[in-house]
Amino acid sequence: MTESSSGQRTVLAVDDSKVMQEIILRALQAEYEVLVADNAVDALAAICHRRVDLMLLDVSMPDIDGLELCRTVRSMPQFQHLPIIMLTSRNSPFDRVQGRVAGATEYITKPFEPEQLRQTICQVLA
């Protein structure tokens, strides 16, 4: 993966909750450039116009949910290998399988510890 001009990798956090966006920002901003989007359309625009190294994706969003966005991203050849971590409150085995089938690289359930998020991102980007 490439690094931004600041030398940091870029993470796109897609979540319709401003509170969750702020939690993610605080957890990651020391190590990563963090972009936020609160819907699928803005997220697609972001990855098409900026180099993004990893996407954090909430499942439960209005209009286009995270699973559909994940499938859409995976259908685009240039993003087939983009790491996508589902970050969601949906925690059943069925939800996890749905995430994997949609193309998620990893699956973290909310609430999460910031250190857990950082470690998972580090492992996925390694």
109 domain-assigned: yes
Please compute the mean of the pLDDT values over residues 81-95 and round it to a whole number.
93
Query: Can you give the pLDDT at residue 102?
Result: 97
Domain assignment of residue 30, yes or no: yes
The range of the structural domain enclosing residue 121 comes to: 9-125
pLDDT tens, 24-71? 999 999 999 999 999 999 999 999 999 999 999 999 998 999 999 999
Q: Where are the beta strands (DSSP E) in 15-100?
A: 32-37, 54-57, 84-88
Q: How many domains does the chain have?
A: 1
Global pTM reads 0.92
Phi-psi region of 69 (alpha: psi -120 to 50; beta: other; left: phi over 0): alpha
Q: Do 9 and 33 meet the contact criterion of CB atoms below 8 Å apart? A: yes
For 80, the enclosing helix (H) or strand (E) is none
| Residue 1, amino acid | M
Q: What is the CATH number of the domain that holds 113?
A: 3.40.50.2300
For residues 107 and 89, is the Cβ–Cβ distance under 8 A?
A: no
pLDDT of residue 1: 41
